[in-house]
Amino acid sequence: MTLVQAETAAPAPPAPVAARRRVPKAVLNGVSVLAGVALWWGLSLAGYDIPAPPVVAARMYELIADGTLITDAAASLARVLTGFALGVLLAVPVGFLMGWYAPVRALAEPWIQFFRTIPPLAIIPLAIVLMGIEETPKIFVIFLASFLSCVIATLQGVVGVDRTLLNAARVLGANDRVIFTRVVIPASSPFILVGMRVGLGSSWATLVAAELIAAQQGLGYRMQSAQLYYDLPTIFAGLIGIGVLGLLMDRLLLLAEHRLTAWQETR
């Protein structure tokens, strides 16, 4: 048998397996939400002492109709946005300084780690004594929660920059300013954005306790007031409000992350 005949007689390679069609992410998200609501409803019907989804939906409609839920959500959102923004604005430059200059890191890191081990909620009594009972202590504890999360992420991003990139930039004649703006900041931006997302979650987690400080409005305040009367539908309405607002803000940060780090390969 000749080589040509052997090649002709050889079996044809198997056809490529058709790529599996991926289910759209939005569909999976919708299925997950429906499954969660169904589980919640099932637990309510099973006799657990939790209000059914229609009861909570009716209570939310009442709170929206009389403006209570909108006012509380706006007050809580303003506190979280203010504290979170202040925390990020301070954390990013502090993290860059700590990561770029070893003496600054040696001076500041013990204090950062010290306060990071103290829950922001534990600062509330001290904040009340030093700052009174107005908006300042509420915003301060939220600021502290976001600052500590973001500064550690920024520091890790700067110190984790590949030294090969830094050496290559220096060989090409770049000075420290160019290296910092063209290499360090882009390379550490994914860490900063992850730190911002973690800090945002910490800010919302701190909100309820922060609104214990003589608040008259806010989702956390409304939940605490409902607790006194065992008003479970209102408590659930507050939880849903916090969850929805936090999720929307996280999606916005995730969108910014995708746009700013489009160069990074992800799954």
Confidence of residue 225 (pLDDT cuts 50, 70, 90): confident
Q: Each residue of 190-211: pLDDT tens digit?
A: 888 888 888 898 888 888 888 8
Does the pLDDT at position 16 exceed 60?
no
CA distance 201 to 250: 8
Please give the CATH topology (third level) of the domain spanning 62-260: MetI-like fold (1.10.3720)
Instruction: Please state the domain extents for the chain.
Output: 62-260
- What's the pTM value of the predicted model, to 2 decimals? 0.81
- What is the rounded average pLDDT of the residues 169-185? 79
Write out the two tokens for 44.
């309510």
Average pLDDT taken over every residue of the chain: 83
The whole-angstrom separation of Cα 207 and Cα 220 is 7
What residues contact residue 54 under an 8 Å CB cut-off, 6+ apart? none
Q: Residue 15: its pLDDT value, please?
A: 47
Q: Which of 10-24, 84-98, 171-185, 196-210 shows the lowest per-residue confidence on average (mean pLDDT)? A: 10-24
Region of 62 (left: φ > 0; alpha: ψ -120 to 50; beta: rest) is alpha
